[in-house]
Chains A and B, each alone.
Chain A
């Protein structure tokens, strides 16, 4: 508890004891009002002070002012005990509320507690501790076991496992070796790492994420704006109703004192704080809970739209597939598999083409280049090389045709690389982008979550695209698209969907930025995604796992349900107590409950949004 909260707590205890004593010992005389006023002032002096200040500023509908009017009114009608007790209850409720909000604020910020405090840097042969902000690109930093990685960089020395869970929600640690990139905000678990800084602190991952989360609260959801607008009308309406209640019925039926007392009950209920606080707190909790899963949401409004997802559009490369080309099939004809790869790898050993790289990766041994006596690159066709005296041709259909070698197509989908040795067909190697392990499950989970249409857009060939879409169970696939075509396609899909449904686009590349902003909700793949895509997106998946999309939709729906529960509960209780109060069945105690009690319950309910079921 903060000092301020403690002070209020003491005041509550003192005045409660005093009030009890007064209640027991004070005779029921006219001067009892002055005795009751003592605990009343002890507990309520700050409310009274604010009420006076605010009324001087012309704030007629200020909650402090209304509270003071209500309690002084109670004094005036002879309900001394009630007046003092209501103020006591009000303050107790406010204290609860402030503690609950403080707690939730803390637990959410703990989730995002990834800001590194320091960096160890080598200066003149000595290890010094500096603020991460002071480190420059190119500096060498040391990260010991158990320390948080302060800046993005590349490992120069050491090997360790790194805990990325604070960023990605992934509980399995990742192993990093020399040459690997490390991301700030992760925790180094085992070995010592020497890292060269590649980004200044202001541009590093940890700063970008924190900025994103902090700004999330300023992008308000529709429900939040609705409730603040509602609050603006609610208080004046209830106060006017109170005035009417105090004057109109007694004009006809008499009983001025009774009606005045009922009107005062209205004033106590007139504060809309329960609503105003619980709605943003629910969104805040939902955003915090999603963050723990490695799903960064840039604002409550996106959760609101995400909950209505009807169509999900995917980019293929890097989103559903790994975006890394690999040898997926080796089909030798006259020689064995290892020999085929070996010859292809030697022929490609001087090339920098991604296909060459994937063949060399599959070969997995450093080629002895002295065995290659000549090597010629035939543009658009492939390579002709002499290896150990054998003439090896590696390339596409056109190359085989041009050297007059009979080849045959492969039933596997991907890029086929043919190999011919001394003019004789030796077989082929198929290279393709691998589908992510979780992609199929991701699409199935979306269907279970009630998404009615899944679409895949790709710039890749029709054969490859259709094959991936079919394997993953995606409804529609549009292939061989240019970036501009993707925007057009998404616009067409937006016009096809129902009025209420939302279209979500998931992508990673720089070309996706325009589509990400055009879609109702744009989701970017974080770690691999480009900065431009992350900037344009509304939600960022930190670990590139497409299965998180369905999870994000689940979180958004749960959050929205909590928001509506709170709105209905708070409005319902207030309306009920207003009606009962007008009819004379509710006293001021009930009114205080309808005000602060409801706030506390709504806050506790809002905190559920933070807890995400696995």
Chain B
């Protein structure tokens, strides 16, 4: 499944790049792209574990940039 999330308070471009690299390493993630300019995260991951992966991605994101939040609608 491929889904796009908005990122709130992503203030630094390099953090975005770091997040992208870190999220790609999560088990079950096929592809991930963080766009600092559109403030969006595109996540392509296994259907079965999608929600768990999103949760993990949120954690990773917090770790790199404490103020940044992945908005799950």
> A residues engaging B (CB < 8 A)?
49-50, 53-54, 57, 59, 63, 94, 98, 101, 104-105, 108, 214-215, 217-218, 220, 228, 231-232, 271-273, 276-277, 280-281, 284
Convert B20-54 into 0s and 1s, putting 1 for each residue whose CB lies closer than 8 angstroms to a CB of A: 11000000000001011110101000000000000
Instruction: Tell me whether B37 and A231 are in contact (CB under 8 A).
Output: no
Number of interface residues of B (CB under 8 A): 22
Instruction: Tell me whether B17 and A50 are in contact (CB under 8 A).
Output: no
Q: What is the CA–CA distance of A233 and B17 in the complex, to the nearest angstrom? A: 13
Chain A to chain B contacts (Cβ below 8 Å), 13 pairs: A50-B66, A101-B37, A105-B37, A108-B37, A214-B38, A217-B40, A228-B17, A273-B14, A276-B16, A277-B13, A277-B14, A277-B36, A280-B36
Instruction: Tell me whether B12 and A273 are in contact (CB under 8 A).
Output: yes
List chain B residues, Cβ under 8 A from A214. 4, 38, 40
Q: What is the CA–CA distance of A63 and B20 in the complex, to the nearest angstrom? A: 17
List chain B residues, Cβ under 8 A from A271. 14
List chain A residues, Cβ under 8 A from B33. 217-218, 220
List chain B residues, Cβ under 8 A from A277. 13-14, 36
Instruction: Tell me whether B40 and A59 are in contact (CB under 8 A).
Output: no
Given contacts A214-B38, A276-B16, 13 further A-B contacts (CB under 8 A): A49-B66, A53-B66, A54-B64, A54-B66, A59-B63, A98-B11, A101-B36, A215-B42, A218-B35, A228-B20, A271-B14, A276-B13, A280-B37
Select from chain A the residue with minimum beta-carbon distance to B9. Answer: A4
Select from chain B the residue with minimum beta-carbon distance to A228. Answer: B17
Q: What is the CA–CA distance of A54 and B38 in the complex, to the nearest angstrom? A: 25
Select from chain B the residue with minimum beta-carbon distance to A277. Answer: B13
Which 5 pairs show the lowest CB-CB distances between chains A and B? Answer: A277-B13, A217-B35, A218-B33, A228-B17, A276-B13
Instruction: Tell me whether A232 and B21 are in contact (CB under 8 A).
Output: yes
Instruction: Tell me whether B66 and A280 are in contact (CB under 8 A).
Output: no
Please tell me which one of the listed residues B13, B42, B66 contacts residue A218 in the complex, with CB atoms under 8 A apart: B42
Instruction: Tell me whether B35 and A280 are in contact (CB under 8 A).
Output: yes
* B9 CB to nearest chain A CB (Å): 8
* A359 CB to nearest chain B CB (Å): 50
Instruction: Tell me whether A63 and B37 are in contact (CB under 8 A).
Output: no
Q: What is the CA–CA distance of A467 and B14 in the complex, to the nearest angstrom? A: 55
Instruction: Tell me whether A231 and B38 are in contact (CB under 8 A).
Output: no
Q: What is the CA–CA distance of A228 and B33 in the complex, to the nearest angstrom? A: 12
Q: What is the CA–CA distance of A101 and B13 in the complex, to the nearest angstrom? A: 10
List chain B residues, Cβ under 8 A from A59. 63-64
List chain A residues, Cβ under 8 A from B21. 228, 232
Q: What is the CA–CA distance of A271 and B11 in the complex, to the nearest angstrom? A: 14
* A585 CB to nearest chain B CB (Å): 27
List chain A residues, Cβ under 8 A from B67. 50
Q: What is the CA–CA distance of A104 and B66 in the complex, to the nearest angstrom? A: 25
* B40 CB to nearest chain A CB (Å): 7
Q: What is the CA–CA distance of A608 and B63 in the complex, to the nearest angstrom? A: 35
List chain A residues, Cβ under 8 A from B36. 101, 276-277, 280
Q: What is the CA–CA distance of A46 and B32 in the complex, to the nearest angstrom? A: 29
* A2 CB to nearest chain B CB (Å): 10
Select from chain B the residue with minimum beta-carbon distance to A109. Answer: B38
Q: What is the CA–CA distance of A49 and B66 in the complex, to the nearest angstrom? A: 9
* A601 CB to nearest chain B CB (Å): 15
Instruction: Tell me whether B42 and A63 are in contact (CB under 8 A).
Output: no
* B68 CB to nearest chain A CB (Å): 11
